[in-house]
Amino acid sequence: MRLFIFDMGGVVAQNVHCVGHMAQALGLTVEEFFLAAGGRSGSTYNGGDVRAIQEGRCTAAEFWLRLEGRSRDLFPQRAVRLRRDGEGKPVDLWGTFFNPQRDSAVVALVGELRDRGYRVVCGTNTLPAHYEKHRALGDYDIFDGVYASHRIGVAKPDGEFWGLILKAEGVPPSEAFFIDDLEENVVAARALGLGAHRFVSAEDIRKKLETLGCVDPLRPYVKGSAG
């Protein structure tokens, strides 16, 4: 194994889900939020403008203006009215309600892998406000490189996401290992020939890496905590 690819939200950082808070602030249910964002009934981050903003195909302002417009058609009695800033642009709620917290045990594990000579990068589905918040907090500083969906133009579980990373890193799928909290992304990575494991906890992923001989089983496990 030469390369490890860690997801950010739900793996390195917790407390990352903000759609419920945004929907409530707009007077919508979560499902109504995704519908107003151009998704289908029951869809989540993989549809409509939520997917588009994660792949850099629309700006935050475009996202919110489109959502506001659709809400008038879908929910005329409860149409969304966005707050504007001093320049008249819609306030980006993606940043307002986003407060990620690092899992110290996962951070330590990333450091241990790098200490052992492995290259460790972040492969994340994200959007501008979240990316900038993580960057300001130094969450990406623990990695050798960062591949953010809105910057590379493609998001998981599209196979091109991993293809771009592997090409940039010069590593074949058989020598890369991917860690993510979503099963659909893990399945997609495995289909391309990468090793992959669904993240449940830092302790669980450490045990998996021990079986691969990538970390020292004698090294004490540090229980995760936000920080």
What are the tens digits of pLDDT across the range 128-187? 999 999 999 999 999 999 999 999 999 999 999 999 999 999 999 999 999 999 999 999
Per-residue confidence (pLDDT) for residue 49, from 0 to 100: 96
Per-residue pLDDT tens over the stretch 51-77:
999 999 999 999 999 999 999 999 999
Mean of the pLDDT values across residues 88-116?
96
Distance between CA atoms of residues 189 and 2, nearest Å: 16
Q: Kindly tell me if the per-residue pLDDT of 225 is higher than 60.
A: no
* Architecture of the domain defined by 3-15+99-211: 3-Layer(aba) Sandwich (3.40)
* Least confident piece of the model among 44-53, 105-114, 122-131, 144-153: 44-53
Q: The whole model's pTM is what?
A: 0.93
The residue type found at 161 is F
Domain-wise residue ranges, the chain: 3-15+99-211, 19-96
Closest CA to 4 of 134, 141, 169, 139: 169
Strand duo 195-198 + 13-14: pairing: unpaired
Average pLDDT for the chain: 93
Tokens of 85: 């800033």
CA 133/CA 151 separation, integer angstroms:
15
